[in-house]
Structure 1
Amino acid sequence: MGATAGPVWGRAEQQDFRSRVRGTLLGAAVGDALGAPVDGLGIEEIRQAHGPGGVVDLAPAHGRRGAVTHLTQLTLFTVDGLIRAQVRRDTGAWHPPTDLHRAYLRWAATQRDWGPDLRRKEDGWLAREEWLYARRAPTRTLLLGLGDEVMGTLDSPKSPGAAGPEVVPRSVPFGLLVGWEPQLVAQLAVECAAQTHGHPTAYLSAAAYAVTVHALACGESLDGAVQRALALLAAWPGQEAVSQALRHALGAVRQGLPGPSRVEGLAGAGTAEAVLAAAVYCALVAEDVGHGLRLAVNHGAPSGPTAALAGGLLGALHGETALPPAWLAELEGRPTILELADDFAMEMTQGPALHGPAGASPGWMSRYPKG
């Protein structure tokens, strides 16, 4: 697997990219946190618990307001794996899916261990963040897929029938590889999704989401970004259901005012491609980020994954300053997310200065060891 040489980074380009990286990761996490208290509830149950308008603000889940779930945890380990893949590239032994699999195994360890005090130095700094050891409703498919050290591949995927939406949110960082060609972004998303979910609609939904975010991070409109994903999907076998779901999302924009029934009509099947379509729809019709995320939460389909996906899209489109500050202020793990986002942006724009032929930063290599 290779990558293009990448863009030339001036100061303004670096600042814009960092804002989009922060916006993408924070937006996805805020959506996850907004949906966590009501994930799995029907719209009437949501209204009974939160009033006739449904969820309009962060609500308690997992013992606090602003709590995130396994969706955000795995997304952060995706970022960690991508940075470490770039660092390992200097060794000549470069296979990003393997680095991502190691990162996902580090997440799986957080779901078994009491805390990080015994974690090895080669696990890096993220695996020593104590708050990530909270078990936040990971699905059985995820735990099975990462329950041993055998890596699922496209030819031999884990859980071949698994098509759940939880596989898609963690692919959002792949879209931030703006120096890569979209085809390579899609390939990486597919290979990493197959490590836990082997159904074509699951791993191709992950690819479609990553390619859409990639186009947004490169400055494309959301409608244009979805069209790019559709064009790329056309070459993949088994893509029909994902493409059809995305086309339904685009068509729904012209069918009247958005509301819970329209979102649920798209996401109701609860599968990866259905939830992705609903998230795309919510982002397309959003008046602002807050409106889009409330729309993505208040319906009877999976609220957490829909809102996490919509948040990633809106954050990549608008950058961090468009996110509701009151929600960011209460977001669990915000300092960690920001630190990781800035590290990712620095690695992608200035990696050679951190571990290039001229020398390596000991601090960076300690944070993101090659092992």
Structure 2
Amino acid sequence: MRRYCDRVSGAEYRSRVRGCLLGGAIGDALGHPVEFWSADVILREYGQPGVRDFQGGGSPAPGLITDDTQMTLFTVQGLIRAGIRRDRGLGLTLGVVHEAYDHWLDTQRLSQPPPGAVGPLGRAGWLYAQRAPGTTCLGALGTARGGGERIRQYGGQATNNSKGCGGVMRVAPIGLLPPSIVTADWCFDAGATAAGYTHGHPTGKLPAGVLAQVVHHLVAGEDLDAALDAAMVTLATHESHEETTEALLAARRLAARGEPTVAAVESLGGGWVAEEALAIAVYAALCHPDSMLDALSVAVTHGGDSDSTGAICGNILGAWHGEDALPPQLLFRVEGRATIAELADDLVLEFTASQRLHGDHGPDTGWRERYG
């Protein structure tokens, strides 16, 4: 099997990073307008084979993203800032991602960027929009602030018992770090830990670990089945893995049967909880591994959390096939396209060219100031 771990700074790596982030945004925006609709209503309104274009807001409709993409982008910003902190000899400190979620919380509580907003995202006015943010994320981050303006201690795990999909839908960027820098096991643990900043139930965390590791293997040049095989081996070593394991096995069994159906999607659940959201996204990607639009249509055409399942499916296929696989008729209309692509490129730059950007003690390129 071909790998390119020895040249991850090349064009193919950049394409997969861009594909993952933009693919997730497209899937998110495709599912957002129908998130609370039943499958019958979706099919009555849009016909077979389901949702295949952005809906609402005039023609052509814009692809408005939700908190799924917002938090995914803040994960990226946190990883870049964690990369910069390596100059201090701290290693890759994941708690900086928790800090990034703290700054995302600002975007949901304020109408515009505050003075001293951190990084390109904190200063992006279009992100200060509430698109049905998850109550668990808001509550956990707010509780961690303890009534203050910032979380009191970054890196602490949530104490709730939620296994909602708000953890898994945002962690794909962890798997995008170059395979020459991080291992598959690190990605699994980091994904689960990052989800745990807001979701305390084991099944709120473990699907996030699976997704991060799957993306890691895809970026390294493996196919989706091989990536799932490896991640499920890791998953089986963790306590309380059974719900996540059964959901993934069910998705793979259904995909092996052939042509996808809405009934098959809904047999996996509604996607409101983490293992179901991951399973639906995996099912859709396996059913249409070579057509992102077909896969995303399957991922969002159901009576559940369509934006989250669409986002995760887009992350997976984008990381696998790169940005050339993105549906162009949707790509040019997705909200924040330029910013998402810019952030993807910055992630690549930080983890492939850091010595030329800032090094151990310099040079002074303005990179540190860019990310606060």
Give the TM-score taking structure 2 as reference length.
Answer: 0.91
The number of residues matched between the two structures is: 358
1:9 aligns with 7
Question: Is contact 1:14-1:349 (8 Å) kept?
Answer: no
**2:323 corresponds to which letter in structure 1?**
E
Deviations, residues 2-61 of structure 1 (Å, cap 9, x unaligned): xxxx95437xx5111000000000000000000000012110111233234431211127
1:37 aligns with 33
Identify which of 232, 241, 244 aligns with 2:243.
Answer: 241
Q: Deviation at 1:115? A: 0.4
**2:125 corresponds to which letter in structure 1?**
E
Q: Deviation at 1:95? A: 5.5
**2:196 corresponds to which letter in structure 1?**
A
1:329 aligns with 332
2:322 aligns with 319
Q: Deviation at 1:269? A: 6.4
Give the TM-score taking structure 1 as reference length.
Answer: 0.92
Question: Is contact 1:119-1:127 (8 Å) kept?
Answer: no
Q: Distance in 1 between matches of 2:111 and 2:45?
A: 33
- In structure 2, relative to structure 1, the CA distance for the partners of 1:89 and 1:152 (3 Å cut) is closer
Q: Distance in 2 between matches of 1:150 and 1:54?
A: 45
Identity %: 42
Question: Is contact 1:9-1:349 (8 Å) kept?
Answer: no
Q: Give the stretch that moved more between structures: 127-136 or 251-260.
A: 251-260
Identify which of 108, 113, 126 aligns with 1:111.
Answer: 108
Q: Distance in 1 between matches of 2:276 and 2:58?
A: 26
Q: Is residue 78 from structure 1 mapped to residue 75 from structure 2 by the alignment?
A: yes
Q: Distance in 2 between matches of 1:150 and 1:97?
A: 16
- In structure 2, relative to structure 1, the CA distance for the partners of 1:333 and 1:345 (3 Å cut) is same
Deviations, residues 268-320 of structure 1 (Å, cap 9, x unaligned): 36321011011101001114010000011111222111111100000011100
Q: CA RMSD in A?
A: 2.0
Q: Give the stretch that moved more between structures: 83-92 or 255-264.
A: 255-264
Q: Distance in 1 between matches of 2:322 and 2:153?
A: 34
- In structure 2, relative to structure 1, the CA distance for the partners of 1:336 and 1:62 (3 Å cut) is farther
Deviations, residues 212-266 of structure 1 (Å, cap 9, x unaligned): 1110000001000000110111111111111111111111122232111111111
Q: Is residue 137 from structure 1 mapped to residue 119 from structure 2 by the alignment?
A: no
Question: Is contact 1:268-1:274 (8 Å) kept?
Answer: yes
1:271 aligns with 273
**2:253 corresponds to which letter in structure 1?**
G
1:171 aligns with 171
Q: Deviation at 1:150? A: 4.1
SS at match of 1:267: coil
SS at match of 1:67: coil
Q: Deviation at 1:94? A: 4.1
Structure 1's unaligned 5+ residue stretches are 1-5
Q: Give the stretch that moved more between structures: 81-90 or 49-58.
A: 49-58
1:302 aligns with 305
